[in-house]
Amino acid sequence: MIEIFYKKDGHMMVSQSETDLNTVSYSDVVWIDLFAPSGEEKRAVEHFLGTVIQNRAQAEEIEISSRFYETEKAIFANTSFLIPGPDEYNEETVSFILTDEILTTLRECPLKSFTDLQRRMLAFPKMYDSGHVAFLSILEQRIDLDADMVELVSKEITQYNKKVSLGEDISEEFLIDINQLQDNTMLIRENIVDKQRVISSIIKSKKYPVEYHSKLNVLLKDISSLINHTNFSFERLEYLQNTVLGIINLDQNKIMKVFTLVSLMLMPPTLIASFFGMNVRFGWFGNSGWSWILALALMGISTVIIFWIFKKRRMF
């Protein structure tokens, strides 16, 4: 799918046919959005721009030379956008190509920041007179969404902290949820750092207009604050995880302490019962029918003594 946004008589027009590139003036085009494009659409855009557009495999490479580079005619920038899911986040690579005053984007899935920009461009065409403004608008909108995800993670961490403080049941699933939250936090941080690297590279580029550097510097400050917040969130998760593991260890120690106490309390009675249960005659014990009472008394006294020793030393 292709959408071409171009200026005409003070209005913003949109076309969904690559053949219109043959009739639209190069200077009037503001943004070309390629959403899972066909081969014909991609070749038509390449011919219109006079440059080759990266394929998906090249755009997803992690080397900095592949994430951002320049040619004589264009600036190529690739970055990842996070798509929130019910349990985890998915990454979607988006390619930005800046040629003169035209922004070209290449993506494979729908993104809210792109949809919002399309609506704003049609509603306020005078605000988007070039592809550079559209590019900054997408980045600004995306950083705001990243900030919302960071805030959501922070709220989830607070909820888990409350569960621990209230002494709610902590199970294996609780630890798994914390681990998943850690993975999401790291993914958000990596995604934000990737945008920071791209924006820093654009500021250093001589092809990008200087008048937009102030806006890019503001975005860098926002990104820096988000990185600090994600670092703090990750530290909170590590502290929470250590606290949960400590509580689990304490519970296990209490269980082991009970078993140890029961075992020690039963050892003296077992020894006495074994002694009097031997098939021998004790002359000093006599043949009285009350001998078993004495044996039970000794067993009870030994149990009470062991219990009293543990109680006095606060061992349970």
Q: What is the DSSP string of the chain?
A: -EEEEEEETTEEEEE--GGGGGTS-GGGEEEEEEES--HHHHHHHHHHHTSPPP-HHHHT--SHHHHEEE-SS-EEEEEEEEEE-SSSEEEEEEEEEEETTEEEEEESS--HHHHHHHHHHHH-GGG--SHHHHHHHHHHHHHHHHHHHHHHHHHHHHHHHHHHHTT----HHHHHHHHHHHHHHHHHHHHHHHHHHHHHHHHH-SSS-GGGHHHHHHHHHHHHHHHHHHHHHHHHHHHHHHHHHHHHHHHHHHHHHHHHHHHHHHHHHHHHHHHHTSSS--TTT-S-TTHHHHHHHHHHHHHHHHHHHHHHTT--
Does position 66 have pLDDT exceeding 70, yes or no? Answer: no
Single residue among 248, 264, 294 that ends a domain in this structure: 248
> What's the pLDDT score for residue 225?
92
Q: What is the mean pLDDT of residues 28-56?
A: 86
Q: What is the pLDDT of residues 216-267, one digit of tens each?
A: 999 999 999 999 998 988 888 888 878 777 777 777 777 787 777 777 777 7
Q: Are 281 and 201 in contact, with CB atoms under 8 Å apart?
A: no
pLDDT confidence bin for 30, thresholds 50/70/90: very high
Q: Is the same domain home to 103 and 123?
A: yes
Q: Which of 57-61, 140-144, 169-173, 209-213 has the lowest mean pLDDT?
A: 57-61
Range of the domain at 171: 2-248
What percentage of residues in the chain have a pLDDT greater than 70?
86
Q: Is the same domain home to 150 and 270?
A: no
Q: Is the same domain home to 194 and 302?
A: no
Single residue among 230, 248, 266 that ends a domain in this structure: 248
Q: What is the mean pLDDT of residues 156-166?
A: 82
Q: Is the same domain home to 236 and 261?
A: no
Q: Is the same domain home to 243 and 292?
A: no
Q: Is the same domain home to 234 and 201?
A: yes
Q: What is the pLDDT of residues 100-136, one digit of tens each?
A: 889 999 988 888 888 888 888 888 888 888 889 999 9
Does position 163 have pLDDT exceeding 90, yes or no? Answer: no
> What's the pLDDT score for residue 112?
85
> What's the pLDDT score for residue 220?
92
User: Rounded CA gap, 306 and 297, in Å?
Assistant: 14
Q: Is the same domain home to 108 and 232?
A: yes
Q: Is the same domain home to 156 and 186?
A: yes
> What's the pLDDT score for residue 109?
85
> What's the pLDDT score for residue 103?
92
> What's the pLDDT score for residue 281?
57
Domain count, the chain: 2
Q: What is the pLDDT of residues 291-300, one digit of tens each?
A: 666 667 777 7
Q: Is the same domain home to 82 and 178?
A: yes
Q: Is the same domain home to 96 and 184?
A: yes
| Longest pairwise C-alpha distance within the chain | 124
Q: Is the same domain home to 169 and 240?
A: yes
User: Rounded CA gap, 2 and 107, in Å?
Assistant: 11
pLDDT confidence bin for 62, thresholds 50/70/90: low
> What's the pLDDT score for residue 315?
62
Q: Is the same domain home to 274 and 196?
A: no
Single residue among 229, 248, 267 that ends a domain in this structure: 248
CATH number, position 178? 3.30.460.20
